A and B are shown apart, each in its own frame.
Chain A
Amino acid sequence: MTDSHSDVLVESAWSGGGSPFAIGSKKLGMWLFIASDTLTFAALLLTYSYSRMTNPNWPKPFPIVPAIVFSTIMTIVLLGSSLTMVMGVAAAHRGNRASTVKWMLATMLGGAIFCGLHFTEWMHLIAEELRPFSNKFGPGGTAGAPLFGATFFGITGLHMTHVAIGVIYLGIVATGFGRGKFSSEDVEVSGLYWHFVDLVWMFVFPMIYLMSVKY
């Protein structure tokens, strides 16, 4: 009876010596990073909501044309780059190195276009005198809540940094995988990061843009 009991223990995934989640350490590490980074962005978005709630002169600076149309295009580009990344990971698991590199290059292109569009939008807002601690988007051209600029540049800036780092990261992994130095698991882990960046934008876009439409 004691023997059969210990057999059960040895077969359990939690008895040690194995991987209870049945995934590699790199993938688990990336998931833990994603969990912590989720909280970073959650804290920022909640800070944004808190500031907005407590400031009566919170600006709504985004007209449907061009700002909302522009940011919708950015959203579609980022979503599209997630799809190409999925294709890249699938190709990597099939062992097709050339195809993987092509899909990853397409993903990097999507990320680069997103950054370019976002940067253009920043430049327009800066030209309209939006600053980290002041703006002119208040009612009747008066000063709006100064924290709008701080939270806007802070949140979208941190997200853009994530996209830019993602493009570099994917470039390194694609090069390494193309040369046979990295495994398909490395491609999958970089894919997890990329999808996470996309996921964050799915909250930034409605909370910062769609909630601030100027009618």
Chain B
Amino acid sequence: MSSHSSDAQQHAGSTKLFVWVWVWLVVITGVEVYLAYEHLNPRTMLLLLISLSVVKAGLIMSYFMHLRFERASLVWTLIPAVIFCIAMLTMIFADGERLRDAREAPQEIALPK
């Protein structure tokens, strides 16, 4: 149907590039699994794992999902809105910390009656 756009994308990215991206994804997965052997504290571990996973997600979206070869307007339409919504969802962690502190040291926290 829209043959112009598919012609333009046809040459975007070679087999070699995709295999390299895949190798990097496997390497980062390997680093993540290695981190599981290290007895890191959960906070550091979570930060490292999420950072690495965001890098992996970026690689998958940019190359496998062709986002790097699409118009920038598509990226700007999709990505910031999703990030904003996820950031809003993290609001529940404020309550999570309150509840955790209340369970760990109930006598020190004034719970509402």
List A residues at the B interface (Cβ < 8 Å).
Answer: 13, 19-24, 28, 31-32, 35, 38-39, 42-43, 46, 49-50, 53-54, 56, 64, 68, 72, 75-76, 79-80, 82-83, 85-87, 90, 93-94, 183-185, 188, 191-192, 195-196, 198-199, 202-203, 205-207, 209-211, 213, 215
Contacts and interface: CB of A to CB of B under 8 A. Distances in A.
B78 interface: yes
26 contacts: A19-B2, A22-B5, A22-B71, A23-B5, A24-B2, A32-B78, A42-B85, A46-B89, A46-B92, A49-B96, A64-B37, A79-B26, A82-B22, A85-B64, A87-B18, A90-B15, A90-B18, A93-B9, A185-B6, A191-B65, A195-B61, A195-B64, A198-B64, A202-B57, A206-B50, A209-B36
B40 to A, nearest CB: 10
B29 A24 contact: no
Interface of B: 1-2, 5-6, 8-10, 13, 15, 18-19, 22, 25-26, 29, 32-33, 35-37, 39, 42, 45-46, 49-50, 52-53, 56-57, 60-61, 63-66, 70-71, 73-74, 77-78, 81-82, 85-86, 89-90, 92-93, 95-97, 99-100, 103-104
Q: Which of A19, A20, A53, A86 has the most CB of B within 10 A?
A: A86
A35 B92 CA distance: 21
B10 A54 contact: no
Given A39-B85, A42-B86, A203-B53, A211 B46 contact: yes
Contacts of A20: 71, 73
Contacts of B73: 13, 20-21
B90 to A, nearest CB: 7
Contacts of A205: 29, 32
Contacts, number: 146
Contacts of A183: 1
Given A64-B37, A79-B29, A21 B86 contact: no
Q: Is the interface of A mostly helix, strand, loop or mixed?
A: helix
Contacts of A185: 1-2, 6
Contacts of B86: 38-39, 42, 46
B21 to A, nearest CB: 9
Contacts of B29: 72, 75-76, 79, 205
A184 B6 CA distance: 8
A42 B64 CA distance: 21
A98 to B, nearest CB: 17
B5 A202 contact: no
A47 to B, nearest CB: 8
B19 A83 contact: yes
Closest 4 CB pairs of A and B: A206-B49, A53-B96, A54-B99, A21-B74
A93 B10 contact: yes
Name, among A46, A87, A210, A215, the residue most crowded by chain B CB atoms within 10 Å (CB to CB).
Answer: A210
Given A21-B74, A31-B78, A87-B18, A195 B60 contact: yes
